[in-house]
Structure 1
Amino acid sequence: MVKKVSRVCVTGGSGYIGCMLVKKLLEKGHSQKLRFLSDASKVGLLKSLPNADTNLLLFRADIYDPNEFEPAIEGCEFVFHVATPLQHNPQSSQYKDTTEAAVAGVRIIAYSCIRSQTVKRLIYTGSTLSMSSRKDDGVGFKPILDESCWTPLDASSTYGNAYTMGYIKSKTLGEKVMLSYNDFGDSKLEVVTLPCGLVGGESLLPNLVSSVGVILAQLTGDLFSCNALKFMQEFMGSIPLVHVDDVCQAHIFCMEQPSMKGRFCCAVARHPIKEIAMYFHETYPEYKLHKESTEGPKEGSKSDFSKLKKIGFQYKFGMKEILDDSVAWAKKLNVISFSQAV
């Protein structure tokens, strides 16, 4: 395994996964270049991390300006593409929606890596929503959910909306395009994609992120989060979960391999909505569950998330730790209202 200190680039370094990944990379001594954001609080958080004063270099880069990524990637050995456009800029004349912007971002990053002639491996943070085992006609599920599955983009949804369906499309097409660079001309660039489950756990951020809000939907009753939870089970058959710490360690694991490319699901297991509800009910009896969020769509096929583990990666956190740490973070922030039991 590669243990030497490396120069890396992280896009989306101020986000939930990104800032935790930056922290862990700095702890290992890697020097980093990050996409710079104008939000002073986010930049301040990154600058306050251990070893940031000597090993962290911030760059301004915008997905709507391809030329801004070149300086950040130049001279790096590894690039982590964590960022993804979630809210489309309606003033943009380049892209019509988030899907176009996301795919364009993938191409911009990949081409910049190839042109650098120094980047060995590009690691992309995907979503398990790109690997639904729903049949192509959208009716029922295939026998096994694994990395061979791709979400049918024309599948209908009972719980989805324009935002969630757009997210699925952007992550699915973006990942497919990203993987295509493993066979791009004479390039020696290796591409790894990590479709991640619903990410939970604590964070360095001062706000509750959307994925944790979805995990806690049964305790909060937030309508958007409840629908998102059902939407995920509708497409995945149950809820793939993963701890943010394991997500970051998986990214670093993929960087440290002597050679690696391809698609590797990053989720410790899948749990149906009913099972998550039962855990909350038994562990946090002081809160009442919202009944409308404890029943989900039909459960799907069995899953095989062993591909990453077969090459040596080990998850440290299971469902219990993911749910408990998510609740603890929400309580610590005091930014979310739990329904008191009667």
Structure 2
Amino acid sequence: MDQKLESKGKVCVTGASGFLASWLVKRLLLAGYFVVGTVRDPGDEKKVAHLWRLKGATERLKLLKADLTKEGSFDDAIMGCDGVFHTASPVVGVLNDPKVEILEPAVKGTLNVLRSCKKNPSLRRVVLTSSSSTVRIREDFDPKVPLDESSWSSMELCERFKVWYALSKIQAERAAWAFCKENNIYLVTVLPSFIVGPSLPPTLCSTASDVLGLLKGENAKFQFHGRMGYVHIDDVALCHISVYEHKRAHGRYLCSSTVMEVDELASFLSARYPSYPIPTRFEKLDRPYYEFNTNKIRSLGFKFKPAEEMFDDCVLSLGEQGYIPSA
């Protein structure tokens, strides 16, 4: 019997103009889905023009206004959809009050989306974008045993080191699991590592800006990242679709191609792109060694693109968009 859901149907993508969500919309349209995307302002040409340029958008894309902070805001977008991909998350800038600016909106926004899901009788499945940072920020594991989906980061450690993004993702994912269990909603979560690849939106998100900084010779952001998993943006989008379509997909799915120390990454990049002033000196951080066990997503037949491809595609895109001289 086919392991996939029967028809393509109609799905909703929250925060559709974002870095990952735009790529997910692109992949869903290419796969034949009708996509309802939510954005804060569908009339903001600068923020949404790239979505209307996607293949299939004129026939099968609809953009609706929704706000994570307003209950009921997602009702219209979600009603009648077979599936919901919740990728929207509060943007991290300079924080004055992390609780008010990122933690509360992440949990509240996720619950607002799920309350709208609960009202939709045709809903089959919800796919939530979480993060590999919900797995790896802990001190009590054996570095010789790769981390898998059963691992959860320590909230106490996140607070101590002020890793607010990770903490917001942990709290939002835990709240989602509790709500979906209580309300009988079929939930699957995807936990991507650091996403690398071409940016469809014209303004770069934080991960794309971090890579751009490294190519320009800045090392502060990556110094802080230390050891990190990396994954191609296209793989993350395809992973979301894979866990939506496979009937036996359940629970959490780590989505990461390769894990590297920051100095490994720098030497790999400077050898591959010698024309850019990539820094080679990084201070050694006292952080635990870890690898990721991605057997769960691979068991669905998933294959990851290598680091060479994700960074080639990223560098090419940054060059085409005029952020760096073309390599």
**Equivalent position of 2:209 in the other structure:** 213
How far apart in 2 are the matches of 1:336 and 1:282?
17
**Equivalent position of 2:28 in the other structure:** 25
Q: Does 1:284 align with 2:273?
A: yes
**Equivalent position of 2:262 in the other structure:** 273
**Equivalent position of 1:146 in the other structure:** 148
How far apart in 1 are the matches of 2:286 and 2:212?
18
- Distance verdict in 2 for CA 1:294–1:156, change over 3 Å: same
How far apart in 2 are the matches of 1:298 and 1:12?
33
Give the C-alpha shift of residue 56 in structure 1.
1.4
* Amino acid of the structure 2 residue aligned with 1:260: A
- Distance verdict in 2 for CA 1:133–1:307, change over 3 Å: farther
**Equivalent position of 2:318 in the other structure:** 330
Instruction: Tell me the secondary structure at the aligned position of residue 285 of structure 1.
Output: coil
**Equivalent position of 1:123 in the other structure:** 127
Give the C-alpha shift of residue 307 in structure 1.
1.2
- Distance verdict in 2 for CA 1:44–1:285, change over 3 Å: closer
Give the C-alpha shift of residue 156 in structure 1.
6.5
How far apart in 2 are the matches of 1:291 and 1:260?
41
Q: Does 1:318 align with 2:320?
A: no
Instruction: Give ranges in structure 1 of 5+ residues lacking alignment.
Output: none
Q: Does 1:230 align with 2:223?
A: yes
Which of 73, 78, 103 is the matching residue for 1:73? 78
**Equivalent position of 1:46 in the other structure:** 51
- Distance verdict in 2 for CA 1:258–1:148, change over 3 Å: closer
* Amino acid of the structure 1 residue aligned with 2:190: L
- Distance verdict in 2 for CA 1:108–1:3, change over 3 Å: same
Give the C-alpha shift of residue 89 in structure 1.
12
Give the C-alpha shift of residue 260 in structure 1.
2.7
Give the C-alpha shift of residue 268 in structure 1.
1.1
Instruction: Tell me the secondary structure at the aligned position of residue 247 of structure 2.
Output: coil
How many residue pairs match? The answer is: 320
How far apart in 1 are the matches of 2:288 and 2:232?
22
How far apart in 1 are the matches of 2:296 and 2:213?
30
Instruction: Tell me the secondary structure at the aligned position of residue 157 of structure 2.
Output: coil
* Amino acid of the structure 2 residue aligned with 1:34: G
Give the C-alpha shift of residue 3 in structure 1.
4.8
- Deviations for 1:138-195, whole angstroms, at most 9, x for unmatched residues? x99684321122111222799x6x5xx221110111111222244224x2x2111111
* Amino acid of the structure 2 residue aligned with 1:212: A
- Distance verdict in 2 for CA 1:264–1:314, change over 3 Å: same
How far apart in 2 are the matches of 1:89 and 1:78?
34
* Amino acid of the structure 1 residue aligned with 2:241: I
How far apart in 2 are the matches of 1:280 and 1:201?
14
How far apart in 1 are the matches of 2:224 and 2:144?
18
How far apart in 1 are the matches of 2:260 and 2:132?
14
**Equivalent position of 1:108 in the other structure:** 112
Give the C-alpha shift of residue 125 in structure 1.
0.9
Which of 141, 165, 168 is the matching residue for 2:166? 168
Give the C-alpha shift of residue 46 in structure 1.
1.8
How far apart in 2 are the matches of 1:301 and 1:279?
19
**Equivalent position of 1:58 in the other structure:** 63
- Using the aligned pairs only, state the percent identity: 28
How far apart in 1 are the matches of 2:207 and 2:74?
27
**Equivalent position of 2:91 in the other structure:** 86
- Distance verdict in 2 for CA 1:157–1:330, change over 3 Å: farther
Which of 164, 180, 183 is the matching residue for 2:181? 183
Contact 2:223/2:283 (8 A) holds in 1: no
Instruction: Give ranges in structure 2 of 5+ residues lacking alignment.
Output: none
TM-score by length of 1: 0.84
Instruction: Tell me the secondary structure at the aligned position of residue 96 of structure 1.
Output: helix
Give the C-alpha shift of residue 337 in structure 1.
7.6
**Equivalent position of 1:241 in the other structure:** 230
- Distance verdict in 2 for CA 1:42–1:218, change over 3 Å: closer
- Deviations for 1:242-286, whole angstroms, at most 9, x for unmatched residues? 101111111111111124321000111211112111212211222
Instruction: Tell me the secondary structure at the aligned position of residue 207 of structure 2.
Output: helix
How far apart in 1 are the matches of 2:190 and 2:61?
24
Give the C-alpha shift of residue 216 in structure 1.
4.5
- Distance verdict in 2 for CA 1:19–1:302, change over 3 Å: closer
Instruction: Tell me the secondary structure at the aligned position of residue 72 of structure 2.
Output: helix
How far apart in 2 are the matches of 1:50 and 1:210?
26
Q: Does 1:194 align with 2:190?
A: yes
RMSD: 2.8
Contact 2:216/2:276 (8 A) holds in 1: no
How far apart in 2 are the matches of 1:9 and 1:132?
30
Give the C-alpha shift of residue 295 in structure 1.
5.0
How far apart in 1 are the matches of 2:221 and 2:170?
17
Contact 1:9/1:73 (8 A) holds in 2: yes
